Amino acid sequence: MKISHLQCSLCKTTFSPNEVIYTCPHDGANIDVIPDYENIQQTVDFKEILSSPRQSIWRYLPLLPLSDPGFEATPLHRVGWTPIYAPKQLTHQLNVPSLWIKDESPNPSASFKDRASAVVLAKASQEGVRTVVVASTGNAGAATAAMGAAIGLDTVILAPKNAPPAKIAQLLVFGARVYLVDGNYDQAFELSIAASKEFGWYNRNTGYNPYTTEGKKTAAFEIWEQVLLNLAPEQTLNIVIPVGDGNIITGIHKGFKDLLRLGWIEHMPRLIGVQANGSAAIADAWQTNSHEIVPVQANTIADSISVNLPRDGWRALRAVWESNGCFVKVSDGEILTAITSLGKAGIFAEPAAAAAYAGLVKGINDGSISRENPVMVINTGSGLKDIKACMQAVAQAQIVEPNIQSLRKFI
C-alpha cells in the first residue's frame, strides 16, 4: 500500500514518511501511519484478499506499508492467520451468544508480537537496515530475534534480567545479541533508545516505532474474515484484549479503522482492554475519565503486561473511547484461574494472555461487559513461555510407585 502521510496522534501534525522515524518531534506522542485510502480503493478488490491462497499476514499485503517481502518458506511466512476456537463449555458458563478465542500461540515465536516484528523487520530490510534493537519484557524480543534470523538481519535485545527463562532461551537460540538489563522493562526501554542513537541501530520498540501497529492490525483483518463477515450486521462483536503498553489494542483498532474507511465493514467492534491490578496505568486513566496517564510501580505475575509507564497509553484510551468499549482490571489470582479455565478448553495461555479471559469473566459478572453480544478473546501468547507462573495455577501432580497397587490408592 502507499502511505499518504504520517500523523501525530496527539497534536495532529502531519509528516512525510521520511521526515519522522519514531515519535512526534513536538510532543513525543505516537505517530499514526495513514494509508492512501483512495489508492487502495481504486486498486484493491477485497474479494481478492478473501480468496488469497496465503495463510498468513501476507494475504493483507495490499494494506501493509511495504512491498512483497519474499523470504517464502521461512518463519516470516508463518506469521498470522491464527486459528479461532469456539469452546462450548466456556460459552455455556459465561452465557454469551458466542465466544471465540483467537489463539496466537501457533505464531513462529509463540506470541502476537510476531505480527509486528514480521512487518517492521521486513520493511526495515527493504530500506537497507542492518541491525534492529528492541527493549522487551520477552515476547517482542523473541519475535524480533526470530524474524531477524528468518530474513538475515542482526538483532540486539534488551530484556529485564528477571524475564521468564523460556523467553530468554528463545532470544539466545534465535542467535540475537542479548543483554539482560539489571533493571525493569522501563529502564530497558530508555537504554534501547540511547543505544539506537549511539550505535545507529533501528529501534523496533513497542509504542515508539510507528510501524508495529501496521503489523498488529492484521489481527483485525483476520477477525473480519473469520467472524465479522458471518455476523449479522446489527450484531456488535466485543473483542477482549490484554493491555500493557497499549500497542496491541491500538493496532487492532487501526485495522478496523482501515476497514471502516474503505467501507469494507459498517461499524466498529467494541474494544475492551484488560490490565492487571498491579499494572493498570491506562485502565486507571479510563476509570477516572482522565487523558493523563500516571505511571505506576508495576507488580503483576503477568510479565508481558507489566509496565510502569505505558508507551502507547493515549492511543489505547482512544481505541476504547472510539469503539465505545471499556477497561477492566483483574487480580493475579483471577489471571491464574483463567489459565486453568482456558486450559480445560485445550488452550495454553501465558499469564498476560489469560488476563484477557479473566477480564471477560470479571466484566460479565460486574455488568461492565454485556452478555448480549458475541465475544472474541485474544490469547496473545503461549503458556510454554512462562512455565513457573503457569505451575502456580495448578495443583502439583502426584508421584506413584510404578505398580497398580500404588496407583489404586489415588483413584
Ligand X SMILES: *Cc1c(COP(=O)(O)O)cnc(C)c1O
Per CB under 5 A, residues contacting Zn ion are 8, 10-11, 24, 26-27, 29
Cβ-Cβ contacts under 8 Å for 233 (sequence gap 6 or more): 266, 267
* d(C-alpha 185, C-alpha 180), whole Å: 10
CB 214 within 8 A of CB 254: yes
* d(C-alpha 66, C-alpha 51), whole Å: 21
Q: 9 — alpha (psi -120 to 50), left (phi > 0) or beta?
A: alpha
Which contacts (CB < 8 Å, 24+ apart) does range 407-410 have? none
Question: 262: which 3 cell numbers?
Answer: 474503505
* d(C-alpha 376, C-alpha 239), whole Å: 5
CB 302 within 8 A of CB 355: yes
What number of chain residues touch ligand X (CB under 6 A)? 19
Q: In terms of CB distance, is 49 or 361 closer to ligand X?
A: 361
**160 scored as a contact of ligand X (CB under 6 A):** no
132, 380, 383, 393: residue in contact with ligand X (rule CB under 6 A): 380
247 binds, among ligand X, Zn ion, none (CB under 5 to 8 A by kind): ligand X
**243 scored as a contact of ligand X (CB under 6 A):** yes
102, 113, 254, 318: residue in contact with ligand X (rule CB under 6 A): 113
* d(C-alpha 365, C-alpha 87), whole Å: 19
**Which stretch in 36-44, 71-79, 186-194, 349-357 sits in contact with ligand X by CB under 6 A?**
349-357
Q: In terms of CB distance, is 56 or 247 closer to ligand X?
A: 247
**Which stretch in 153-161, 218-226, 238-246, 320-328 sits in contact with ligand X by CB under 6 A?**
238-246
Q: Shortest Cβ distance from residue 305 to ligand X (Å)?
A: 5
Q: Shortest Cβ distance from residue 313 to Zn ion (Å)?
A: 15
* d(C-alpha 310, C-alpha 186), whole Å: 9
**272 scored as a contact of ligand X (CB under 6 A):** no
350 binds, among ligand X, Zn ion, none (CB under 5 to 8 A by kind): ligand X
Give the sheet arrangement for strand 31-35, strand by strand. 14-15, 3-8, 31-35
245, 258, 334, 386: residue in contact with ligand X (rule CB under 6 A): 245
111, 155, 196, 209: residue in contact with ligand X (rule CB under 6 A): 111
**381 scored as a contact of ligand X (CB under 6 A):** yes
**341 scored as a contact of ligand X (CB under 6 A):** no
**Contacting positions for ligand X (CB under 6 A):** 111-113, 139, 206, 242-248, 304-305, 350, 352-353, 380-381
